[in-house]
Structure 1
Amino acid sequence: MIPADNTLGGRIPLLAPEDLSSDQQTLYTQLKATMVPWAKKSGFQAETSDEKLIGPFNALLRSPLISKALMEVTAAEGAHTALSEKVRQVVILTVGVAWQAAYELYAHVAVAEKAGIDEPKIQLLAAGQKPDGLSIEEDVAYDFTHQLTTTHQIDPALYERALVAFGEKGLVDLICLAGQYMTISGLLNTFAVPAPQAQ
């Protein structure tokens, strides 16, 4: 467990559970019941030893009603996506690199390992490089996400490759997933939230 350390909030202080408003407390309880256990199971930390939330979760508490809706989208994506878990992690790491979001990369290096991606491939993805030996879907997901997050356009040839790999539903799912993590990365970067190992 990460010790209590207010520098983990970056530009905003970590909020103590006893200092939360009613709406914040509702969101805090939801995050403690869902995201914190998922983080522990995945091998990264989402709270301090005195139960203050870190990473994007501390920032989300600042706007609890919109953040609650964002968490509902997160749950829906996880439950209804057409993408495999390995493809999802390729997308998320590619977004994290494009945004240089330290906490996002810290967290999803661990999640990608749990998803069964080889450690050397994870390290290359986290360094912004496309590894050799990706599956066809992982390869297309990397190219699509990289192009979407860097040029904000998808060229015709890549669109056709992605359509063959994922179909229309899968493309919408991929774009929604990438957008979700662009939002999270935007929160992390705006508030200069560090990865715990950087402390």
Structure 2
Amino acid sequence: MTPMIIRKAMLAACITLTSFAVAAQDRLPTISPADYNAEQAKAAEEFLAARKTPVFGPFEPLMYSPNLMNLARGMGDYLRYKPSIGNTLSELAILITAREWTQDYEWYVHYPIALKAGIKKELADRIALGQVPEGMSEDEALIYQFAWELNRNKRVSDEAYAKVETRFGKQGAVDLAGICGYYTFLAMELNMARYPIPGDGKLLPRLESAATTGKSK
């Protein structure tokens, strides 16, 4: 192979890689409402009626599948706002899930919500670092253990399950698993889409591994 052919091959490879990188940064750009098709426009109207705000955040990439977006919104209407375990503990489970998936936008949105709901800053910051929080309340500790095990091990131990069921009932256990599952779904979509965080946001630390043990202290 001559030097000229080698140079041409290298140039072609660079162009291909550059094109791929550009495309990867813009996988699912937000669709302008002016460009909605009929199905998307209907989904956006239903979203506005339910949430009292236009489509935003994780629902923007989901607008490429408007029926999925609205079904996801409906599930979120309950799990985000009316879970049987209460909003404070729900936010704790959301933070754990966002950390496990290293989902920057979920963390950007829910970190201040969690603090406002009553989660201590020190607790949330340790989760962000992949560390086991210290000084949790009894309720926080059992929610943390359940959510951590489910996210990390894809299972929940008998001990962790029994504590949640005893405290919150079977509905509480189902709702808690649902919260973890719902925000895992959103994290997958956002990570796949490479959905950006606003300019004032900070990325979660990129960890080689999260907490080595889920046992709370």
Q: Same fold (TM over 0.5)?
A: yes
Task: Give the AA of the match of 1:90.
Answer: L
Residue 12 of structure 1 corresponds to which residue in structure 2? Answer: 28
Bigger drift between 179-188 and 22-31 goes to 22-31
State the distance in 2 between where 1:133 and 1:182 align: 26
Aligned counterpart for 2:168 among listed residues 144, 153, 166: 166
State the distance in 2 between where 1:134 and 1:29 align: 41
Instruction: Using the aligned pairs only, state the percent identity.
Output: 26
Residue 146 of structure 1 corresponds to which residue in structure 2? Answer: 148
Residue 134 of structure 1 corresponds to which residue in structure 2? Answer: 136
Counterpart contact for 1:92–1:178, Cα < 8 Å: yes
Residue 213 of structure 2 corresponds to which residue in structure 1? Answer: none
CA deviation after TM superposition for structure 1 residue 25, in Å: 1.4
State the distance in 2 between where 1:112 and 1:138 align: 12
Task: State how 1:40-189 maps to structure 2 within 5 Å.
Answer: 55-78=57-80, 80-189=82-191
CA deviation after TM superposition for structure 1 residue 13, in Å: 1.4
Tell me how large the CA RMSD over aligned residues is: 2.4
* Normalised TM-score (structure 1): 0.79
* Normalised TM-score (structure 2): 0.73
State the distance in 2 between where 1:25 and 1:128 align: 40
Counterpart contact for 1:137–1:166, Cα < 8 Å: no
Counterpart contact for 1:96–1:185, Cα < 8 Å: yes
Bigger drift between 57-66 and 71-80 goes to 71-80
State the distance in 2 between where 1:158 and 1:77 align: 21
Task: Give the AA of the match of 1:108.
Answer: H
- Which consecutive unaligned segments of at least 5 residues does structure 2 have? 1-22, 203-217
Alignment partner of 1:15: what SS?
coil
Residue 29 of structure 1 corresponds to which residue in structure 2? Answer: 45
Residues 36, 195 of structure 1: alpha-carbon distance in 2 compared, 3 angstrom cutoff: farther
Bigger drift between 67-76 and 125-134 goes to 125-134
CA deviation after TM superposition for structure 1 residue 128, in Å: 2.7
Counterpart contact for 1:87–1:141, Cα < 8 Å: yes
Task: Give the AA of the match of 2:38.
Answer: S
State the distance in 1 between where 2:125 and 2:49 align: 30
Bigger drift between 104-113 and 72-81 goes to 72-81
State the distance in 2 between where 1:152 and 1:27 align: 32
State the distance in 1 between where 2:106 and 2:46 align: 20
Number of residue pairs aligned between Structure 1 and Structure 2: 178
Counterpart contact for 2:26–2:194, Cα < 8 Å: yes
CA deviation after TM superposition for structure 1 residue 122, in Å: 2.1
Task: Give the AA of the match of 2:198.
Answer: P
Counterpart contact for 1:90–1:125, Cα < 8 Å: no
Counterpart contact for 2:39–2:66, Cα < 8 Å: yes
Task: Give the AA of the match of 1:88.
Answer: S
Higher gyration radius (CA): 2
